[in-house]
Amino acid sequence: MSTDLHAPPVLSTPAEYLYEHQTALPGRETRPDRSDHELFEVYEIARTASEIQARDWRRVALQFPDAMLADAPWVVGALGRELALRKVEPPRLYVLADTSYSACCVDEIAAEHADADAVVHYGRACLSPTARLPVLHIFTRQALDRGSVVEAFARHFADKATKAIVVADVMFQEHVAPVCALLRSQGYARVVATNIIHDPSSPIPNRSIESPDPAEPEHHAHQHLHEYHLFHISTPPTSLLLTLSSRLASLHIYPTPSSPYTTTTSPLDPSTTPSMLRRRYALVLRLVTASVIGILVNTLSVKNYMSTIGALREQIAAAGKKSYTIVVGKLNAAKLANFAEIDGWVVVGCWESGLVDQDGLFKPVITPFELSLALQSDETRIWTGEWWGGIEGVENTVSRDTEPARPQKTEEEEEEETFAEDHEGGIDDDESEPPVFDLRTGKLVSNSRPMRVTIRSSPSATNATQPSDSSTASRAGGSAIVKRGTGEIALVNGVASPGAEFLRSKRTWQGLGSDFNSSENEERSTVVEEGRSGVARGYTVGEELTRS
C-alpha cells in the first residue's frame, strides 16, 4: 500500500533555476578553444567582407554545415566588425542551419525565404553550378603537416619517375602547390598539381590539371589520364572514389587528422572500390525488370535539374515504363517506403549526393548514369566499370539511347496492320520482343513494360483504330480466335496508370470510406451532425446552450 503524501509532488522546475541551464551548441564539446585571430583566418573574414563590399550585397545568407554551426554567431559578429572598420553599412546577415538537401549544395530555397541577394557557403562543397543566386564559397583554411604528406607520398611511390596527380579536398587546396614543389625538389619530376574549377563534368571533377613542363601542353594529362596515379589529400567522398576508379591507374589516400570542422568518417580503402562497383551493378540489374520508376528530386538548386527531369521522363517512357516524380526533401527509408508501387528510384541531384546509401531502403536507388544502363537491352548493355553520380550528360544519354522516331502511318496502313494481327495470327513488335527474366530469381517478368502493353488495350487506342461496323462484321466471321485484351490496367484521364492500378488491386486501404462496401452493407452512411464545441470546462452540443 502506498504511503500518504504530506506535500504536493514537484511537477516543475523551480523558477529560480529557469535561466541557469544552458543548452550546449552542437560540436562545442569537442571543439578546441581557438583565438579570434585563428578563427579570423579560418573563416577568411577579410576576403568575405571585401566581396560583400565590392558587390554591394545588402542581404546575405550564411550557410554553415553542422560541424561549423557552433561558430556561426562569432562569424556574424566578426563580419559586422570588419565591415564597420571599412566604413561600410553592414548588410542583413542570415544564418542557414538546417539545409533542405545535402550540406555540400547551396541551399538557394532557404536563402530565397530570407530574400537574400547572395549566399556565402562555408566548408566542403560539391561546386555544382547554381541556378538563381550568386555564391561565394569559403572552404575555410585548414592546417596540414606538409612534411608528413611528402613522406607518405614517398612510401607509396618509390620510383621517382612515377606519373602522379596530387589532389586535395577543397578545405586543403591551398597546400597542393607547396606539396608538389617539395616533391619536385626531391626528384619527383612528373608530379602534377591541380586547381579548383567549377566544372563537375571535368575528367577529375572540379579540378584542372597543371603541366609541370611549360613545353608540354596542359591537356596532355587529360588525354593520358589512365597513365597517372592519383594521390588524394584527405578522405574523398565515396562518389569521387567510384568516379576516378576507372579513369586513373591507381588511387592513394592520405587521411588527414580528425578535425572539428569536418565530419568524422572512417578512411576509405581504395581496394574496396571494385566490390562497391559490383554492388552498384547489381542495383542496375534490379532496375532492368522494374515497371514503375520513381524520379527522386534531391535538389532544387543545381542548374539544369528541371531539364534533367524531363530527359529522364522521356528516357523511361521510351523504354515502355512508367515514371513518377517525387520530392521528399532529405532522403530516408521511411519516406521512400510510403511509395510501395515504385519498383526503383533514380536520383536527380549533385554528383556527390547522387550516391545514396542503400542501408534500410526497400527499393534500389540509382543514378541517371546507372539508369541509362538499366534501360538498355541485354545485347547492348556493356559495363566497362565507368561510373558517374551526377546529372551532367543526361541529355546526351537520352538522345543516344532513345529509340528513333517512327514515321507516321496513315489510317489505311494502321487498319491493315490491325486486320493482319487479328486475322492471320500476326503479332506486334511488343509481343515479339524477347521475354524478360529477373536475373536474381530466374522468374519471368511479364509487366516490365506496362506502358507498351496497355497502349493497344486502352479505350483511346481502340477507338482510334476501330474500323466501321460493316468492316468489323465482315472480318469477325473469319476469325476463329478472339484476342483478349492483355495487360488491362486502370486509366486516369485516358492514360494508363500503374499507380492507380496498384491502388485499386493491391492496397487494402484506399482512403476514407474505402472500407464501406455498399453490396454488403445496405445501410446508408450516417448524416453528418454538428458535434460538441467549447473548452474542456464545459462543451456545448449543437446550438443548444446545455453543457456536457
Which tens digit of pLDDT belongs to each residue from 5-19? 666 666 666 665 555
- The 10 Å Cβ neighbour count of residue 419 is 15
pLDDT at residue 172 is higher than 70: yes
- Name the pLDDT band for 529 (thresholds 50, 70, 90): confident
Q: Mean pLDDT lowest for which of 225-239, 249-263, 471-485?
A: 471-485
**pLDDT confidence of residue 35:** 84
Contact 290, 346 (CB under 8 A): no
How far apart CA 211 and CA 221 sit, in angstroms, is 8
pLDDT at residue 409 is higher than 60: no
pLDDT at residue 38 is higher than 80: yes
- Name the pLDDT band for 368 (thresholds 50, 70, 90): very high
**pLDDT confidence of residue 476:** 41
User: Percent of the chain beyond pLDDT 90?
Assistant: 39
SS3 label, residue 338 = coil
Cβ-proximal residues to 33 (8 Å cutoff; 6+ apart), any chain: none
Q: Are strands 207-209 and 194-196 parallel, antiparallel or unpaired?
A: antiparallel
pLDDT at residue 411 is higher than 60: no
pLDDT at residue 414 is higher than 90: no
Residue type (1 letter), 78: A
How far apart CA 157 and CA 459 sit, in angstroms, is 69
SS3 label, residue 490 = coil
Which range of 54-68, 465-479, 515-529 scores highest in mean pLDDT? It is 54-68
Grid coordinates standing for 314? 522521356
**pLDDT confidence of residue 503:** 76
Grid coordinates standing for 215? 613545353
pLDDT at residue 417 is higher than 90: no
Residue type (1 letter), 34: R
- Provide the residue count of the chain: 548
Q: pLDDT: is 390 or 22 the higher one?
A: 390
Mean pLDDT, range 164-183, rounded to an integer: 94
Helices (H), 64-171: 72-85, 108-113, 146-156
Mean pLDDT, range 117-144, rounded to an integer: 92
Backbone angles phi, psi at 222, to 5 degrees: -65, -40
Q: Find the helix packing angle between 469-476 and 411-423, rounded to 10°.
A: 20
Grid coordinates standing for 224? 593520358
**pLDDT confidence of residue 406:** 46
pLDDT at residue 453 is higher than 90: no
Rounded to a whole number of angstroms, the distance between the first and last alpha carbons of the chain is: 35
User: Percent of the chain beyond pLDDT 70?
Assistant: 70
Grid coordinates standing for 120? 556565402
Q: pLDDT: is 461 or 344 the higher one?
A: 344
Q: Which of 208, 237, 260, 300 is nearest to 26 (CA)?
A: 260
> What is the 8-class DSSP label of residue 130?
B
**277, exposed or middle or buried, with CB in 10 Å at 0-12, 13-18, 19+?**
middle
> What is the 8-class DSSP label of residue 159?
-
How far apart CA 266 and CA 395 sit, in angstroms, is 36
| DSSP per position, 405-447 | PPPP--HHHHHHHHHHHHHS----HHHHSPPEE-TTT--EES-
Contact 539, 533 (CB under 8 A): yes
Mean pLDDT, range 79-105, rounded to an integer: 89
- Name the pLDDT band for 140 (thresholds 50, 70, 90): very high
**pLDDT confidence of residue 441:** 73
| DSSP per position, 265-320 | -PPP-GGGHHHHHHHHHHHHHHHHT-SEEEEEE--SSBTTHHHHHHHHHHHHHHTT
- Name the pLDDT band for 251 (thresholds 50, 70, 90): very high
Contact 359, 336 (CB under 8 A): no
Q: Which of 507, 485, 488, 506 is nearest to 497 (CA)?
A: 488
How far apart CA 313 and CA 324 sit, in angstroms, is 8
pLDDT at residue 81 is higher than 80: yes
Sign of CA dihedral 114, 118, 122, 127: positive
- Name the pLDDT band for 253 (thresholds 50, 70, 90): very high
Q: pLDDT: is 541 or 427 the higher one?
A: 541
pLDDT at residue 461 is higher than 80: no
- Name the pLDDT band for 26 (thresholds 50, 70, 90): very low
**251, exposed or middle or buried, with CB in 10 Å at 0-12, 13-18, 19+?**
buried
Reported in sequence order, the residue ranges of 148-204 that DSSP labels E, i.e. its strands, are 164-168, 191-192, 194-196
pLDDT at residue 458 is higher than 60: no
Question: How much is the mean pLDDT over the chain?
Answer: 78
pLDDT at residue 260 is higher than 60: no
